Amino acid sequence: MNDCVSVFLTGVGGQGILLASEILSNAAMLAGFDVKTNEIHGMAQRGGTVTAQVRYGQKVYSPLICEGDARVLCAFEMAEAVRAAHYLAPSGLAVVNQYRIIPVTVSSGSSTYPQDIKETLRKRFPRLCYFDATARAAEAGTERAANVVLLGATSVGLDLPEETWLEAIRKTVKPKFIEVNLKAFAAGRAAAQS
């Protein structure tokens, strides 16, 4: 495969994954790269797993990521991190939100949510950034900015200049939410660097 950078985002419908993917792809575009993204729309958004893939580089052909090629896996929900683990490169960074969304299959008794998931994450990801992004977002001003907190942590695993990230946030989110999202991004970056 060529030298494109691939990022795999995963979570549950309604968590703001598509906005995060848009900010990331705008940041890469502003940094002067060719960019391709892919998202699954439609039926999957009704409470199911939602994934987004972003690739950038001098020239990008495929919008889809190969398994084992993602430089960062950013999971908005713990179980979804495990489900998508095989997309991450062996040396890649896993950013995982310490956050649980119980699927209906668990509530109705047909399956169980793994109890030892933290252990699984530690075992599986040598480079793991695992923290409560929702709490950091609340500190920044709103729980709804957890997606941008996670993006801040993701940015640590990528090589885009910080300025392009901030510009991408200003360009992508609604004007009245710019400040809170810039704070959220900084909080996520700090969490990953600590």
Contacts with other proteins by CB under 8 A lie at 1-2, 12-13, 25-26, 29-30, 32, 34-49, 60-68, 79-80, 82-83, 85-86, 102-114, 120, 124, 162-164, 166-167, 171
Q: Of 51 and 154, which CB lies nearer to other proteins in the complex structure?
A: 51
CB of 86 to other proteins, least distance (A): 5
Contact yes or no for 71/89 (Cβ under 8 A) = yes
Task: Give SS3 for 113.
Answer: coil
Helix (H) or strand (E) holding 170: helix 162-172
Partners of 75 in the beta sheet? 10, 96
CA separation for the pair 1, 16 (Å, rounded): 30
Cα atoms in the 13 Å half-sphere on the side-chain side of 127: 18
Rounded (10°) CA dihedral 84, 61, 89, 189: -80
CB of 131 to other proteins, least distance (A): 20
CB of 81 to other proteins, least distance (A): 10
CB of 175 to other proteins, least distance (A): 16
Q: Of 83 and 127, which CB lies nearer to other proteins in the complex structure?
A: 83
Beta strand 70-75 with 49-57 is unpaired
Partners of 94 in the beta sheet? 73, 128
Q: Of 107 and 193, which CB lies nearer to other proteins in the complex structure?
A: 107
Q: Of 46 and 174, which CB lies nearer to other proteins in the complex structure?
A: 46
Give the contacts of 32 (CB within 8 A, at least 6 positions apart): none
Q: Of 115 and 194, which CB lies nearer to other proteins in the complex structure?
A: 115
Q: Of 40 and 180, which CB lies nearer to other proteins in the complex structure?
A: 40
Q: Which residue has the tokens 């896996």?
A: 73
CB of 135 to other proteins, least distance (A): 15
CB of 129 to other proteins, least distance (A): 18
